[in-house]
Amino acid sequence: MTTTPVMQADNIVKELGSGAGLVVAVKGVSLELVPGELTLLMGPSGSGKTTLLSILGGIMKPTSGSLRIADTVIDGLSAEDLAKVRREHLGFIFQSYNLFPTLNAIENVRIALDVRGIKGFAATSRSEEVLREVGLGHRLTNYPRNLSGGEQQRVAVARAIASSPSIVLADEPTAALDSENGHAVMALLSRIAKEQHRSVLAVTHDPRTLGYADRVIRIEDGRIVGEERRPEGIDAPEITDLTKRRKLHA
């Protein structure tokens, strides 16, 4: 299946710190993301995954290299223009959920629509819809402190997809979750990629997540060192593999 990439990164380099503390966290990464796929970015701690994800999300500016998100080449855009690109094309999921503690589930989703200018009834009904989609129809008015970690992360997923972005970026979405919740969130991300035809990129070093991937990019020391793709036509061969693992973990 050939589809036009919704994101294209070319030779991204990122230097962090300065002087003696200078670290080249990303050392010339090129990659493309296409719709309908869940891609995992895996690598050891400190390999530059988060740094790369921040750059791909238009949150951090690369030291050099070029990045296109949807139709926009974002090199050299101002902070405000980058925010606009994030609003229009991207959804984010964070390791520690980053929900607003003073807002309930539905409000946490609504605020992501609000910054995009979607207000009123349209915003409420869309927020309810996506919360139901992630299986939280019965938790609409719960505050984050009254939700389990898994539920909180699902609210975050709902928030990320509420505005129907073409790309969803997640940094270690399962790291703070137990096995069962981790699987639930990964299944959700995979469904979002397939059913809603979005491009999902998740940073992880959690092997439990492997089974959900359409594609795995491996990164070490700021460089891509390998890429695997699930052969076409075969439906999630690792799922069985994974079920075994789950049993092992249990």
Contact indicator for 164, 197 with CB cutoff of 8 Å: no
Of 29, 34, 40, 54, the one binding other proteins (CB under 8 A) is 54
- The answer to whether 173 contacts ligand ATP (rule: CB under 6 A) is no
- The answer to whether 170 contacts ligand ATP (rule: CB under 6 A) is no
Of 33, 41, 60, 224, the one binding other proteins (CB under 8 A) is 60
Q: Which is nearer to other proteins, 20 or 79 (CB)?
A: 79
Q: Which is nearer to ligand ATP, 88 or 221 (CB)?
A: 221
Q: Total number of residues binding other proteins (CB under 8 A)?
A: 34
- The answer to whether 20 contacts ligand ATP (rule: CB under 6 A) is no
- The answer to whether 116 contacts other proteins (rule: CB under 8 A) is yes
- The answer to whether 94 contacts Mg ion (rule: CB under 5 A) is no
Of 205, 208, 215, 245, the one binding ligand ATP (CB under 6 A) is 205
Q: Which of 35, 170, 144 is nearest to 92 (CA)?
A: 170
> What is the 3-class SS of the chain, one letter each residue?
CCCCCCEEEEEEEEEECCHHHCEEEEEEEEEEECCCCEEEEECCCCCCHHHHHHHHCCCCCCCEEEEEECCEECCCCCHHHHHHHHHHHEEEECCCCCCCCCCCHHHHHHHHHHCCCCCHHHHHHHHHHHHHHCCCCCCCCCCHHHCCHHHHHHHHHHHHHCCCCCEEEEECCCCCCCHHHHHHHHHHHHHHHHHCCCEEEEEECCHHHHHHCCEEEEEECCEEEEEEECCCCCCCCHHHHHHHHHHHHC
Decide which of ligand ATP, Mg ion, other proteins, none touches 48; Cβ closer than 5 to 8 Å per partner kind. ligand ATP
Restricting to residues 118-137, name those near other proteins by CB under 8 A: 119
Q: Which is nearer to other proteins, 84 or 218 (CB)?
A: 84
Of 114, 220, 221, 228, the one binding other proteins (CB under 8 A) is 114
Q: Which is nearer to other proteins, 103 or 236 (CB)?
A: 103
Restricting to residues 31-90, name those near ligand ATP by CB under 6 A: 43, 45-51
- Residue numbers of the site for ligand ATP (CB under 6 A)? 16-17, 23, 25, 43, 45-51, 205
